[in-house]
Amino acid sequence: MRIVNLTAETKTNLLNDLLRRSPNNYSEYESAVNDILEDVRRNGDRALFDYTLKFDRFPLNADNIRVTREEIDEAYSLLDESLTAIIRRSAENIRAFHQKQLRSSWFQPKADGTILGMKFTPVARAGVYVPGGKAAYPSSVLMNVIPAKVAGVGEIIMTTPPDAQGKINPGTLAAADIAGVDTIYKAGGAQAVGAMAFGTRSVPKVDKLTGPGNIFVALAKKAVYGYVGIDSIAGPSEILVLADETANPKYVAADLLSQAEHDELASAILITTSAKLAKQVSEWVDAFTAKLSRKEIIQKSLDQYGYILLADSMCDAIDAANEIASEHLEILTANPYEVMTKIRNAGAIFLGEYASEPLGDYFAGPNHILPTNGTAKFFSPLSVDDFMKKTSIISYSRQALEAVHGDIEAFAESEGLTAHANSIRVRFEEENL
């Protein structure tokens, strides 16, 4: 891996480099995506079936679009029982973590007759998009579905592309069943996003749409936002490791590569105060890469977006980490908890040498659907809140309103909204009958 000194210039160049991976920079695909969405919006099932035949080479129709119970049972039979057990244990950890996020409606009455509050209501129907083919990740099924289930969503549907024989990845089907998906549809790509956003004869319209996908799926989610709610526009995966001289270079290198193997656009960055560690990590990266199964993808990722930044101080390293706002942030320092208190921007933080990033991907419980491309500065991980609506509750007695009506009328009139002021004033004018 390249080793460069952390300066204001190299930090700026790095940030610009990373931002090039954002879905916002792939406008050349937007026209094609918008055409697909408009076709699905206008023509429903017919467009959905045509695109599935074109892109997935499967003759989809109203009779075979839904995954049957028999297909789900077959998926279990194709999986090793030990893997099924692991998926179940992971699901329980995810469920337990997200149950702690549940919030109750609240109401605050006052002696003058004022009642204020907040009512929490789950969305009626959520849709989860799940990639297919080589990008089939049962872990992401759990991470998307379980928070919705915990929130109390009434119906959860899932779309995922079939292969040319109409088959779905067995792990994906088992995870969906374990997590509690109500209906699974054999459809993928921008056309599946459109089907869930607008509704077709076969696929119902959803209220909230979540889940990762390729650039076409990401752009489709961006385009349908407003017709439905979405989680976020996911970019390529990324990891940043903050380390000092106490870190184990072998562990650091292995953790960096855990994200570089996702795809050629993934980023893996080490920021360290130790020149010795930087050199050792670079050597271990080369050694690991040579023997890993996805070494071609890893090498392209590292060549494009892999960096080891050598900082003068841990303060400089922390400042850079906050600017980068990485999806995954590992802290491997003498006192990781102290460093953690100074981190403002990160999707998920992993503390200590035994909290490797894949722990969060698969098993610990916190959600691995995380903000990318610096959006951790204003976005959060997927959570139960993403599937809940919040409604304000307001009730005033005559006594309570009488005490403040003059203020409200004056405020409204200052904005030129005399009908607003009148709506309050008429309640305190004498009746002229």
Per-residue pLDDT in tens (0 to 9) along the chain, 433 residues: 999 999 989 888 888 888 777 776 677 889 999 999 999 999 999 999 999 999 999 999 999 999 999 999 999 999 999 999 999 999 999 999 999 999 999 999 999 999 999 999 999 999 999 998 666 789 999 999 999 999 999 999 999 999 999 999 999 999 999 999 999 999 999 999 999 999 999 999 999 999 998 889 999 999 999 999 999 888 889 999 999 999 999 999 999 999 999 889 899 999 999 999 999 999 999 999 999 999 999 999 999 999 999 999 999 999 999 999 999 999 999 999 999 999 999 999 999 999 999 999 999 999 999 999 899 999 999 999 999 999 999 999 999 999 999 999 999 999 999 999 999 999 998 754 4
Q: With beta carbons less than 8 A apart as the criterion, state whether 399 and 113 touch.
A: yes
**Who's near 42: CB < 8 A, 6+ residues apart?**
none
Task: Tell me the per-residue pLDDT of 33-88, one tens digit each, with 9 for 90 and over.
Answer: 999 999 999 999 999 999 999 999 999 999 999 999 999 999 999 999 999 999 99
Cα separation, 268 vs 307, whole angstroms? 7
CA 150 to chain centre: 17
Q: How many CA atoms lie within 13 A of 349 on its CB side?
A: 20
Q: What angle do CA 414, 404, 419 make, to 5 degrees?
A: 45
Q: What angle do CA 360, 375, 207 make, to 5 degrees?
A: 80
Which pair of tokens denotes residue 300?
Answer: 């392209």
Q: What angle do CA 225, 230, 231 make, to 5 degrees?
A: 145
What is the reported pLDDT for 66? 98
For residue 243, which amino acid is it? Answer: A
3-class DSSP state of 129? strand
CA neighbor of 374 nearest in space, from 214, 234, 219: 234
CA neighbor of 211 nearest in space, from 255, 250, 159: 159
Residue 392 CB neighbour total at 10 angstroms: 8
Residue 284 CB neighbour total at 10 angstroms: 20
**Is 262 known to be catalytic?**
no
Give bridge partners of residue 101 from the DSSP assignment: none
The burial of 424, by beta-carbon neighbours within 10 Å (0-12 exposed, 13-18 middle, 19 or more buried), is given as: middle
What is the reported pLDDT for 283? 97
Cα separation, 241 vs 277, whole angstroms? 12
The burial of 52, by beta-carbon neighbours within 10 Å (0-12 exposed, 13-18 middle, 19 or more buried), is given as: buried
The burial of 48, by beta-carbon neighbours within 10 Å (0-12 exposed, 13-18 middle, 19 or more buried), is given as: buried
3-class DSSP state of 122? strand
What is the reported pLDDT for 433? 42
Backbone angles phi, psi at 242, to 5 degrees: -100, 120
Catalytic residue among 328, 330, 368, 409: 328
225 secondary structure, DSSP code: B
**Is 327 known to be catalytic?**
yes
Catalytic residue among 98, 238, 262, 327: 327
Cα separation, 318 vs 314, whole angstroms? 6
